Amino acid sequence: MIAFLLVVSFILHALSLFVIILLYLQLSKVKETEKRQQQMAEEMEQTFSAYLLEWKEENERFLKELTDMLTNRTKADRKQSPSKADATSTKEEALPNYFPNVDDVKDIVDIRHQAMPSLVEEAWQLFEQGKTIEEIAKILKKGKTEIELLLKFHQK
């Protein structure tokens, strides 16, 4: 009887040791998955930060172009009609003009659109000269995919 109980005890101990090992392996897999998820979260955060920084720089550049355009236009307006500046009402002087004129914004958008065809034409000329897409991308300092799409959509 004692021998039977000892055999059952050894079997139960072996079985419990096996279950403990399995649980430890599962725990290590969970920890490894958590580490990978944390790394992915950090990479996503860095990517978003870089994207937001680029977006901020683009906005600042656009605002600078806009203010330069507005100052140039106001200087031109002042040269053309100096009496117009004297005729402003006190309400208009009290409230600063934070919003640009619609025509000014349209001019800036037109300027940006005028720059686009030159890029397309330049890319197309380089392509007709026999340059590869990679070479064109390097010359124009653009991405390879961007040049591919540019040439694909603007085929003559």
Residues 71-99: tens digit of each pLDDT: 888 877 777 765 544 545 554 454 455 55
Given this model, what pLDDT does residue 94 score?
Answer: 47
The pLDDT value given to residue 95: 47
End-to-end CA distance of the chain: 96
pTM given for the model: 0.37
Task: Give the whole-angstrom CA distance, residue 120 versus residue 107.
Answer: 21
Q: How confident is the model at residue 7 (pLDDT cuts 50, 70, 90)?
A: very high
Reported as a single tens digit per residue, the pLDDT across 27-72 is 999 999 999 999 999 999 999 888 888 898 889 898 888 888 888 8
* C-beta separation of 141 from 117 below 8 A: no
HSE of 119, CA atoms in CB hemisphere, 13 A:
15
Q: Tell me the torsion sign for CA atoms 19, 23, 28, 33.
A: positive
- The dihedral built from the CA positions of residue 42, 47, 52 and 54, taken in this order, carries a sign that is positive
126 pLDDT above the threshold of 70: yes
Write down the residue that tokens 């860095």 correspond to. Answer: 46
